Structure 1
Amino acid sequence: MKDKIKAYRFPIILLISIIIGSIIGLSFGKDATVIKPLGDLFINLLFMIVIPLVFFTISSAIASMDSMKRLGKIMGSMITVFVVTGIIAAVFMLIATIIFEPGSGVDIPLVEPEEVQEEMSLSEQLVQTFTVSDFVDLFSRNNMLALIVFSILVGVATGLTGEKGKPFTSFLTSGAEVFMKIIQLVMYYAPIGLGAYFASLVGEFGTDLIGDYAKAVIIYYPVSILYFVIGFTLYAFIAGGKIGVSRFWKNILAPAATSLGTGSSVASLPANLQAAKRIGVPKDIRETIMPLGATIHMDGSCLSAMLKIAFVFGVFNQDFSGIDTFLTAIGICLLSGIVMSGIPGGGFMGEMMIITLYGLPLQALPIISAIGVVVDPPATMVNVTGDTVSSMLVTRHLEGKDWIKKTDIA
């Protein structure tokens, strides 16, 4: 019993700090924002670490692989898992929206969005997404996919160099270990940082969740929590049986709490890498999937995209039914949650795509954008934890059904 309490000690401390922060926010209202800098400090520390962490973990994982064939298997399995879980998430929310009909009877005044992003061709968007014009631009989290591409190239080139590349492989591996240790140090501050951040959030926005968007929120929060509990438990069971479920729940609370507090998949990456390591996911798999998953795998975004579509249909009194409508909605959710999530401003583009494909007026944009803001915390939590369980599923596919029994993790 003591061992179990010890294993859950840090997640419990995080949850207690979040609860205390929320109580402070409710008690003091907007005055609680005075301690927001303590939360910002924690988030900034995570963002400060994440760029070198992504570079070293991806490049070292690939450089250390026995063969490029292994990398191909990981990437192929990863993409399959991402697409399948994204479809399941979209269908899960689709069923909920059919039952509860968000937006029905809602009367929201239509206002023009203040600003619309400049239109780009698909080729220009792809170039800007996967590359940068200057090396120093790689050191910005706004260019995360470009950094991942660069890290993969460095890892592949190092591996192909052979014996002469061994010293550089050692450097990359050492760098990955050093930055993982820095993460451990930063996470000691997590209870204070997350508590302060939640106090500020609840103090500033806690009373604004009432009104026209209440029904959408009431639908999204329980559905996302159900998907988190039921869906991820099932995925963990498929990946590793009862041991997989036990390890998943023993280690997932820290990254879940971090993602809920920061609202950022990238900022939650350090805690997520630690969780996957403790679960027993092999180094090359977790250090390939986690950074990629933080930018291109978003089950929570699939859930919210479906809610946005159903909500805006209800607002404009359009019929949200029929196989064609549903299949189009699922396709949009996949694009929003997997493809566009890695593009700067991808959420905005996903919302524009909803409006364009369904022929809705441009005034609908601020309506669905507001939903995105309100449901962002649980959506991010589902996004982040989805990466962890996906890494377990990929390991199950590559290492066999007994992979989890072969690891020495307690």
Structure 2
Amino acid sequence: MKTQPKKLSLTARIIIGMILGIMTGFVIREFLADITFVHDYIVDGLFEVGGSIFIASLKMLVVPLVFVSLVCGTSTLSDISTLGRLGGKTLAFYLTTTAIAITLALTMGTIVQPGAGADLGAATAFEAKEAPTLGQVIIGMFPTNPINSMAQGNTLQIIVFAILFGIAISAAGKAGERIASVFNDLNEVIMKLVALLMHIAPFGVFFLMAKLFTTLGLDAIESLMSYFAVVSGTLVLHALLTYGLMLKLFTGLSPLTFFKKMEDAIMFAFSTASSNATIPVTMETATKRLGVSNKVASFTVPLGATINMDGTAIMQGVATAFIAQAFNVDLTMGDYLAVIMTATLASVGTAGVPGVGLIMLAMVLNQVGLPVEGIAMIMGVDRLLDMIRTAVNITGDSVVTCIVGKSEKEMDIARFNDPRAGEKDEEVHLHKA
């Protein structure tokens, strides 16, 4: 009997698409850059259009997924105090991991000294947008027009409205039960949309990588090799060591199983460099593969994508040490503590602001009296580092989701330990009418 050839896993197909995209980008940049047809119709045509459609498709699902899944989760809460406990745990873990990340980054930056001997004399001026105050952020969390909030993709406002709407459904008796059943059905349909999108991901990743590497040269990385190595190394260390230990300590679950199940979400985050765009895949991974109930994941994942910025905090820590060393400025222990506090609080205070990483870094540099112009020097490699730190950010979101889910007894441990969990949910069968 003839055996069917084994299909490649989604992760394998995404990695193949990524490698082929990187190779294609390098070949075009090195050998075909001067050919007008290639530049206009392949790079700015096929690659630009294909990559943009892929990102747009991911973002298309974010608002309906966050709203519908959070309404479903909140409407099932029998006790409103559960929501406060859930929010308190989630916020505490997110702030703790961010503080650990910035501390680890400052330690690595001080030991390795990536900025020693660097020449920042050529650094051009850099102007960061002014960050909103914490009070403005809190006020801005409450929407005046929920439909407008959804149109603008304001995640915090969507979360607040969805929670209030879910609570109202829970309190509305029979009418609420009928509405809740509609939302539960909608949630299943949206998750199937996510599964559908995941099947075309390898092509989207190929287009994104090919487009990026037609412009990204190795010369920028070579000139900042020490800085790049320290940031990327610290990011990987934080993901494996901090998250792995936290998961084992607070849940007793296997970090190896966790990281194996996170492969697809990590690849999505790396290729898109956007925590928000990756929300649908992170949510699908947390619920279908890791076994956390939608009641918890619908709250922790969108909130984490908005305020949990461990990867960005690591970049800030190493960048602060790098710029201080390059300008021959000695930082005291008080300065280091100020950096840790500022970066941790800024991760909440600048939530949802475009260019958030650089805004936060400017705030940190101002706090310890370092020149903001130093940011211009490290911007050459920031795009590639942004891809790595986004993967770290969504990994942190998922670890906290598992910890909170386990502590709330809202996690299916058998599903977490099942290596094939979620595979049937990702299948899409399109039958002819």
Fold agreement, TM-score > 0.5: yes
Question: Hey, which of these two has a bigger chunk of helix by percent?
Answer: 1
Once structures 1 and 2 are overlaid, which stretch shifts more, 46-55 or 371-380?
A: 371-380
1:289 maps to 2:300: yes
In structure 2, relative to structure 1, the CA distance for the partners of 1:311 and 1:246 (3 Å cut) is: closer
Q: Structure 1's 403 and 103: CA in aligned 2 closer, same or farther, altered over 3 A?
A: same
SS of the equivalent of 1:62 reads helix
SS at the partner of 2:370? coil
1:157 to 160, 165, 168: 168
Cα distance per residue 1:55-105 (max 9 Å; x no partner): 101111101222212222211211121122112212221221111112221
- 1:235 equivalent to 2:250? Answer no
Q: What is the identity percentage for the equivalent residue pairs of Structure 1 and Structure 2?
A: 27
Amino acid at match of 1:255: A
- SS at 1:204 equivalent: coil
Report deviation, 1:44. Answer: 0.7
Residue 288 of structure 1: CA displacement? 1.1
Give the structure 2 partner of residue 112 of structure 1.
Answer: 125
Change (3 A) 1:386 1:6: farther
Question: CA separation in 2, counterparts of 1:70 and 1:59?
Answer: 15
Give the aligned partner of residue 24 of structure 1.
Answer: 24
- In structure 1, give the amino acid aligned to 2:74: I
Aligned to 2:330: 319
Which secondary structure does the structure 2 equivalent of 1:382 belong to?
Answer: helix
Aligned to 1:194: 205
Maintained 8 Å contact 2:73/2:166: yes
- In 2, Cα distance between the equivalents of 1:190 and 1:264? 15
CA gap 1:151/1:365 in 2 versus in 1, 3 angstroms? same
Q: Distance in 1 between matches of 2:367 and 2:12?
A: 45
The correspondence of residues 365-376 of structure 1 with structure 2, limited to 5 A, is 365-367=375-377, 372-376=382-386
In structure 2, runs of 5+ residues without a counterpart are 34-38, 422-433
Change (3 A) 1:12 1:120: closer
Matched with 2:9 is 9
Distance (whole Å) between structure 1 residues aligned to residue 274 and residue 212 of structure 2: 14
CA distance in 2, matches of 1:134, 1:74: 26
What amino acid is the match of 1:112? A
Q: Does 1:168 align with 2:179?
A: yes
Report SS of the residue matched to 2:116. coil
Change in CA separation of 1:386 and 1:7 when aligned onto 2, cut-off 3 Å: farther
Q: CA RMSD in A?
A: 2.7
Q: CA–CA distance in 1 between the matches of 2:54 and 2:68?
A: 22
Indicate if the aligned counterparts of 1:302 and 1:336 stay in contact, CA closer than 8 A: no
Taking the aligned partners of 1:7 and 1:335, their CA distance within structure 2 comes to 46
Following TM superposition, by how much is the alpha carbon of 1:124 offset from its aligned partner in structure 2, in angstroms?
Answer: 4.1
User: Using the alignment, how far apart are the partners of 2:136 and 2:182 within structure 1?
Assistant: 35
Structure 2 match to 1:253: 263
What is the one-letter code of the residue matched to 1:354? V
Distance 1:248 1:119 in 2: 35
Question: Which residues of 2 match residues 362-401 of structure 1 at below 5 A?
Answer: 362-367=372-377, 372-399=382-409
Match of 1:56 in 2: 68
Conserved in 1, the CA contact under 8 Å of 2:128 and 2:359? no
For the 8 Å contact 1:239–1:395, the answer to whether it is kept is no
**Distance in 1 between the 2:129 and 2:102 partners?**
27
Deviation at 1:141, TM superposition (A): 4.8
8 A Cα contact 1:351 1:369, kept in partner: no
Query: Which amino acid in 2 is paired with 1:389?
Result: V
1:338-379 Cα offsets, whole Å, 9 max, x none, are: 442334453343123123212234534534655644521111
Corresponding residue SS for 1:205: coil
Q: What's the CA shift for 1:392?
A: 1.0
Find the aligned partners of 2:134 and 2:256 in 1 and give their Cα distance: 44
Indicate whether 1:225 and 2:236 are aligned: yes
The DSSP-based 3-state class of the residue aligned with 2:277 is coil
2:431 corresponds to which residue?
A: none
202 and 223 in structure 1: CA distance in 2 versus 1, 3 angstrom threshold: same
Q: Does 1:93 align with 2:105?
A: yes
CA distance in structure 2 between the partners assigned to 1:395 and 1:122 by the alignment? 28
Show the counterpart of 2:368.
358
CA apart distance, 1:53: 0.8
Give 2:275's aligned amino acid. Answer: S
Residue 145 of structure 1 deviates from its aligned partner by 1.2
- Kindly indicate whether residue 89 of structure 2 is the aligned counterpart of residue 77 of structure 1: yes
Contact 1:308 1:371 in 2 (8 A): no
Count of residues in Structure 1 that have an aligned counterpart in Structure 2: 401
Mean alpha-carbon deviation: is it higher for 203-212 or for 322-331?
203-212
Q: Distance in 2 between matches of 1:355 and 1:91?
A: 15
Once the two structures are TM-superposed, the CA of residue 246 in structure 1 deviates from its matched residue by: 4.1
Distance (whole Å) between structure 1 residues aligned to residue 415 and residue 207 of structure 2? 41
Check whether the contact 2:305–2:394 (CA below 8 A) recurs between aligned residues. Answer: yes
User: Given residue 73 of structure 1, which amino acid in structure 2 is its aligned partner?
Assistant: R
Alignment of 1:126-165 (within 5 A): 126-127=138-139, 129-165=140-176
Q: Partner of 2:275 in structure 1? A: 265
CA distance in 2, matches of 1:326, 1:403: 41
- For residues 257 and 36 of structure 1, do their structure 2 counterparts lie closer, same or farther at Cα, with a shift above 3 Å needed? same
How far did 1:173 drift? Answer: 1.7
CA distance in 1, matches of 2:225, 2:299: 39
Checking the alignment, whether the CA contact within 8 Å between 2:313 and 2:344 is kept in structure 1 is yes
The one-letter code matched in structure 2 to 1:404 is I
1:408 and 1:254 map into 2 onto residues whose CA distance is 17
1:166-204 CA distance string (max 9 Å, x none): 111122222222111111111110011012211211221
